[in-house]
Amino acid sequence: MKKPLNFILAGVGGQGTILASDVLVNVGLAAGYQSKQAEVHGMSQRGGSVTSHVRWGETVYSPLVGRGDADVLLAFEKAEALRSLRHLRPGGLAVINMEALLPVTVTSGGQPYPPDDHIQACFNQVSKAVYLDGAKIADELGNPRIANVVLLGALSALLESWQFTPMEVNVETWLGVIRERVPPKYIELNQQAFHAGREAALLQASNQT
């Protein structure tokens, strides 16, 4: 991997964005890369926008990914996906969880929330996006809080099928890092969620092409 691989993770506080980026940066380290991560959030408590930058490479300098320089956008929420679109390079991979978390500016402030066809039209101008219902998959597994791991599974499969990562970043690397970060009684659930995400992503990607 000559040029670093740049990720942007975007979500809303409470969705597990930070945990997902912690897994991602450690997967990079476990695969033998230089790996850096930067969290970008202001005075957000619950419900604020959260963005995290992750970079893997032989040599990585900046912890931040510049505008138009992300190879991969992993979005946990639809409107946040659109907010981070300017980071994605043309032809980059976007994995979007089609969940809507309405801020108070929409629910009582009268601001519009972007409709699905608008989101898809915007992404179509830049790249091919893969749309997933991570919340539904997580619910089927019996725990709505596991959606972030579902999305990591989806990301791992798509990185392979798009040939963004070499072979050493395999499923076991991902699961090893995840296992180190969850309590023992949740390991099985996390593994199921990861694999469910992989299957859903590959199915979705083949349907969309």
Q: What is the 3-state secondary structure (H, E, C) of 94-128?
A: EEEECCCCCCHHHHCCCCCCCCHHHHHHHHHCCCE
Residues between 22 and 51 that touch other proteins (CB under 8 A) = 22, 25-26, 29, 34-49
- Compare residues 90 and 184 and give the one whose CB is closer to other proteins: 90
For position 79 contacting other proteins by CB under 8 A, the verdict is: yes
When the beta carbons of 81 and 205 are compared against other proteins, the nearer one is: 81
Token pair of 193, please? 């969620």
Q: Which of 2, 90, 117, 172 binds other proteins (CB under 8 A)?
A: 90
Distance CA 116, CA 78 (A): 8
Contact with other proteins (CB under 8 A) among 122, 141, 171, 187:
122
Which stretch, 61-69, 128-136, 147-155, 196-204, contacts other proteins (CB under 8 A)?
61-69
Closest distance to other proteins from the beta carbon of 72 (Å): 15
The C-alpha atoms of residue 206 and residue 198 are separated, in whole angstroms, by: 12
Q: Is 104 in the site for other proteins (CB under 8 A)?
A: yes
Using the rule CB under 8 A, is 69 a contact of other proteins? yes
* DSSP three-state, residue 149: helix
Does 58 participate in binding other proteins (rule CB under 8 A)? no
Question: In the block, which residue shows the tokens 């506080």?
Answer: 13
Give whole-number Cα distances, 55 to 29, 52, 201, in Å: 10, 10, 22
Is 208 a binding residue for other proteins by CB under 8 A? The answer is no
Between CA 105 and CA 86 the distance in angstroms is: 22
- Residue 142 backbone class (left: φ over 0; alpha: ψ -120 to 50; beta: rest): left
184 binds other proteins per the rule CB under 8 A: no
Binding residues for other proteins, total number by CB under 8 A: 52
Per CB under 8 A, residues contacting other proteins are: 12, 22, 25-26, 29, 34-49, 61-69, 79, 82-83, 85-86, 89-90, 102-108, 111-114, 118, 122, 125-126
